[in-house]
């Protein structure tokens, strides 16, 4: 039977440490080149150029891997998203500089995803190498070509993401052999993120640590204990999230994290929607824009000053003290701060369907995981980070080669889970045959 019809049977066969190939080197070097970029209306990275250049070669050699069902779904839904964006921009008479960036963003998302999928396929080594390349690229970007916010927030917009990914990658390698060490690493990097003001990443690491602790537990590995493990995990996650939120709120109000973080927290928690909405205040504007045009959208890089006015009025109405945040948004761009809401605002319901599918893929994959998958803690953190970004983060230029890697990670994660279930089923069948 072919590797396409049964791809999970071939997963994890190739060792992480082995003789390198051109494909292996590409998986590491291409994302590591993210520190090289130019501004041409938008941002064009060297990673973009390399992935685009590699696409025809890997598509020619390994195009059958694109027949894998979730890969095919991503590409089909993405093409529909692109078509919807083109139609919306034609109807809305979007400016060339806007629709050219909007169409290119979607097109590069699709080609980059396909290239990453065809480069990695089912190789655990290449998957790890690409993750390591993202880490190196992030670190080099901070030191060589930092972003506009990196000077004021060096951890959150600089070293935080790559260092967290590195720690979680190492924890993933240790996961099944040294569970306590892996979970401790996740919890520790989560605490560091919280202390440095990167609240969302800190919370995600803490949740991933709790989830990994129970899923990796050998005492709960038996499938007959799955319901008990699920109940324990859900209860622990709920208690953990509430506990982390309470500890953080107490600490920041007590000045543990410095005056700047204290002032920021007070502003973001001052309104009726609490700190979650206060930290993602742009959703107040994008939700109104979606209601105004839920099917068609407003066009690529949609601009309308009315929504900034709506945002300011909503901030005042809800009692938030951070009205100045409105000035941070680019020109008259409709604020969104979400993969999902951003696509819905720009291209209508079809763009939203694409990201809803990604959200469903990540959530279902993490929930269905058995805990016996290789690199489990790393996969778990990626899944939770992808869910958070789809809901609460803007789709930045580097998302074309980071978010697409995260999506493909969820596909590999799901294939690992299928392989584990198939192995367990075969073992049970073998046991029954012996009893007969």
DSSP secondary structure, 102-143, as one string: HHHHHHHHHHHHHHHHHHHTT-HHHHHHHHHHHHHHHHHHHH
Does residue 11 lie in a domain region?
no
Residue among 331, 273, 361, 326 nearest 72 (CA): 361
Q: Which stretches of 295-388 are assigned E, i.e. beta strand?
A: none
Residue 102 inside a domain? The answer is no
Asked if the structure places residue 414 within a domain, the reply is yes
Tell me what pLDDT residue 139 has: 96
The Cα 388–Cα 138 span in angstroms is 19
Per-residue pLDDT 10s for the chain (436 aa) are 334 444 544 444 444 545 568 889 999 999 999 999 998 878 899 999 999 999 999 999 888 998 999 999 999 999 999 999 999 999 999 999 999 999 999 999 999 999 999 999 999 999 999 999 999 999 999 999 998 888 888 999 999 999 999 999 999 999 778 889 999 999 999 999 988 888 889 989 999 998 888 888 776 655 555 666 667 667 767 777 777 777 777 777 777 767 777 767 676 666 666 666 666 777 888 899 999 999 999 999 988 888 888 887 877 777 776 665 666 666 688 888 899 999 999 999 999 999 999 999 999 999 888 888 899 999 999 999 999 999 999 998 899 999 999 999 999 999 988 887 766 555 455 445 444 4
Strand partners, 37: 45
Residue 196 lies in a domain: yes
Q: CB under 8 Å to 355, separation ≥6 — which residues?
A: 339, 340, 343, 344, 390
Q: Would you list the DSSP string of 161-213? A: HHHHHHHHHHHHHHTTT-HHHHHHHHHHHHHHHHHTT-HHHHHHHHHHHHHHH
Token code pair at residue 34: 């993210």
Task: Give Cα 241 to chain centroid, integer Å.
Answer: 19
Kindly report the pTM of this predicted structure. Answer: 0.89
Rounded Cα distance, 176 and 275, in Å: 36
- The residue segments making up the domain with residue 377 are 69-92+142-394+407-435
Contacts of 267 (CB under 8 A, 6+ apart): 278, 320, 321, 322
Q: CB neighbours (10 Å) of residue 148?
A: 7
Structure tokens at 42: 């938008």
The answer to whether position 151 is within a domain reads yes
Cα–Cα dist 344/329, whole Å: 18
- pLDDT for the residue numbered 217: 77
**198: phi then psi, degrees, rounded to nearest 5:** -95, 75
How many structural domains is the chain composed of? 1
Residue 341 lies in a domain: yes
pLDDT for position 229? 65
Instruction: Give a yes or no: residue 51 inside a domain.
Output: no
Q: Is residue 25 part of a domain?
A: no
DSSP 320: -
Q: Phi/psi at 422 (nearest 5 deg)?
A: -65, -40
């Amino acid at each position: 039977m072919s590797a396409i019809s049964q791809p999970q049977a071939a997963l994890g066969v190739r060792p992480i440490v082995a003789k390198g190939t051109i494909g292996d080197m590409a998986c590491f070097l291409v994302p590591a080149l993210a520190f090289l970029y130019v501004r041409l209306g938008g941002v064009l990275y060297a990673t973009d150029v390399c992935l685009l250049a590699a696409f025809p070669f890997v598509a020619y050699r390994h195009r059958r891997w694109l027949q894998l069902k979730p890969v095919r779904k991503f590409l089909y839904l993405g093409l529909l998203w692109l078509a919807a964006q083109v139609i919306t921009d034609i109807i809305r008479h979007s400016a060339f500089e806007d629709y050219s960036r909007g169409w290119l963003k979607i097109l590069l998302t699709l080609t980059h995803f396909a290239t990453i999928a065809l480069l990695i396929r089912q190789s655990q080594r290449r998957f790890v190498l690409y993750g390591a390349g993202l880490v190196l690229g992030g670190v080099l970007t901070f030191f060589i070509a930092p972003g506009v916010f990196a000077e004021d927030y060096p951890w959150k917009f600089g070293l935080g993401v790559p260092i967290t990914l590195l720690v979680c990658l190492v924890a993933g390698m240790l996961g099944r052999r040294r569970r306590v060490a892996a979970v401790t690493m996740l919890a520790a990097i989560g605490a560091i993120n919280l202390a440095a003001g990167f609240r969302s990443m800190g919370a995600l690491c803490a949740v991933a640590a709790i989830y990994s602790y129970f899923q990796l537990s050998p005492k709960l590995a038996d499938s007959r204990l799955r319901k008990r493990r699920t109940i324990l995990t859900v209860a622990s996650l709920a208690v953990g999230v509430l506990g982390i939120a309470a500890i953080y709120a107490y600490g920041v109000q007590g000045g543990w994290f410095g005056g700047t973080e204290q002032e920021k927290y007070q502003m973001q928690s001052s309104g009726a929607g609490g700190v979650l909405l206060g930290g993602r205040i742009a959703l107040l504007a994008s939700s109104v824009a979606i209601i105004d045009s839920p099917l068609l959208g407003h066009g690529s890089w949609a601009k309308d000053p009315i929504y900034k006015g709506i945002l300011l009025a909503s901030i005042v109405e809800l009692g938030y003290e951070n009205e100045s945040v409105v000035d941070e948004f680019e020109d008259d761009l409709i604020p969104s701060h979400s993969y999902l809401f951003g696509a819905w605002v720009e291209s209508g319901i079809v763009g939203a369907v694409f990201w809803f599918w990604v959200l469903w893929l990540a959530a279902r994959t993490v929930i269905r995981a058995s805990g016996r998958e290789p690199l489990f803690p790393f996969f778990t953190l990626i899944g939770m980070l992808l869910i958070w970004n789809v809901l609460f983060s803007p789709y930045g230029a580097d998302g074309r080669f980071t978010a697409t890697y995260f999506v493909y990670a969820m596909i590999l994660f799901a294939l690992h889970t299928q392989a584990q279930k198939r192995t367990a089923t075969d073992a049970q069948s073998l046991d029954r045959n012996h009893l007969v």
